[in-house]
Amino acid sequence: MYKIIIHEVGPRDGLQVEKTVVPLAEKISWIDGLCAAGIDIIQLGSFVNPEKVPQMADTDTLFRHFTGNKPASVTLSGLVLNEKGLERGLACGVEMFCLGVSASETHSQKNTGMTTAEALRRIVPMAKEAMAAGKIVQASVQSAFGCGYEGPIDREKVLYIVKAFLNAGIRNVSLADTAGHAQPQQVEDLYSAIRALDPSVELACHFHNTYGLGLTNCYAALKSGVTYFESAFGGLGGCPFTKLPAGNVCTEDLVHSLQRMGLRKDIKLDVLLKVARQVGRYFDRELPGFILKSGSIVDFQGHAEGGSA
C-alpha cells in the first residue's frame, strides 16, 4: 500500500473564516502539537491581504518561527494567490507552495478578482518559478465538484485546468471541493480521468463537509489512488468567498478512519485530539469532529477498546 500523506490545513483554511483573531502564541502551541502528532504537511497560512483575511496577518512570522523549530519529517506549506504572495513565501521559508485556479467563474472572481482564464495564466508561471527555486508545488482546481453560486461544474473545464498544470510540469494535482458538492461516484470519475491523462501524477484531495459526505468522499478518493489528504483540526474551516462556508473534513476523524483500516497507525491520535480540545476551548464552542466527542474505537495496538455489543 502506498503511503497516505496527511496535509493539515487547520492553521489556514480552518481559521480564515473565524471572526476572533487567534494570537500568534496560541497558533504556535497548536502547530507544535500537530508536529508532535506526526502530521506530514502543515499549512501555516496564506499570503493574502491581512485587511481582507485578518487571521492570516502573521503568516510570514509563523514560517520564520517554524523553519528552524520543527521535525525534519514535517513539511511547511503555504497558499499563494498572486505574485506578491509567491515573493513573500520565497522570502520566509515556505517549503511547499499551494496554488489554485477555480473552475467556477463566480468563485474565481470573488476569491481572486480574476476570471478562471486570467488566474490560470498567472498561476502556471508562478508554479514554474517556485519549482525553479527548488520548492514543492501543488496546484489545485478549486470548486472542482460544484459551486454554491453556479451549481454543477463542467467536468471538461476541470480537466482542461488539470491538463494545463500537467503540461507545466506540475506533478502534484489537487481537486478541491470548495462548496462541498462532491459525491463519491463523481470523485472516482474525476480522479480516474486525471490518472488516464498521466498515470504518474500525485493526486491530492480537499473536501468540505457541507452536506456530510466528507469522509465518504475521502474513501472514494483513496480507492481512486489519491495519496494526499487535506483536513483541518476539529473540522473547522470554509472558504469565505463561497456561498455556504462549511468545515473541512476533520483531521482526527480522517486519521481514526484510516487507522481502523490499518493505515497511518504511526500518527498519534491522542495528541491530535488534545490539539482539537485546545482549539475548542479557545473558541469556547463544541467543534464538529466526531471522535473528539466519542473517543477512539481502536487503540494504537489495533485492539477494540470496548466490549461486545
How do strand 96-102 and strand 172-177 relate by DSSP bridges? unpaired
Nearest to 40 by CA among 86, 81, 9, 80: 9
Look-up: residue for cell 471541493?
177
Residues in the chain: 309
Residues 6+ apart with CB under 8 A from 270: 296
Q: Quick one: how far is CA 263 from the chain centroid?
A: 19
Give Cβ neighbours of residue 88 (< 8 Å, ≥ 6 apart).
47, 59, 60, 80
* 239 given a catalytic annotation: yes
Roughly what angle, to the nearest 10 degrees, separates helices 59-67 and 24-37? 50
Q: Using a CB cutoff of 8 Å and minimum separation of 24, what contacts does 92-95 make?
A: 92/59, 92/60, 92/63, 92/64, 92/67, 93/63, 93/64, 93/66, 93/67, 94/63, 94/135, 95/135, 95/136
Which of 35, 147, 239, 250 is flagged as catalytic?
Answer: 239
Give me Rg for the CA atoms of the chain: 18
CA–CA distance from 144 to each of 13, 56, 287, 295 (Å)? 17, 24, 26, 33
Amino acid at 264: R
Listed in sequence order, the residues at least 6 apart from 284 whose beta carbon sits closer than 8 Å to its beta carbon are none
Which residues are catalytic, by number? 239
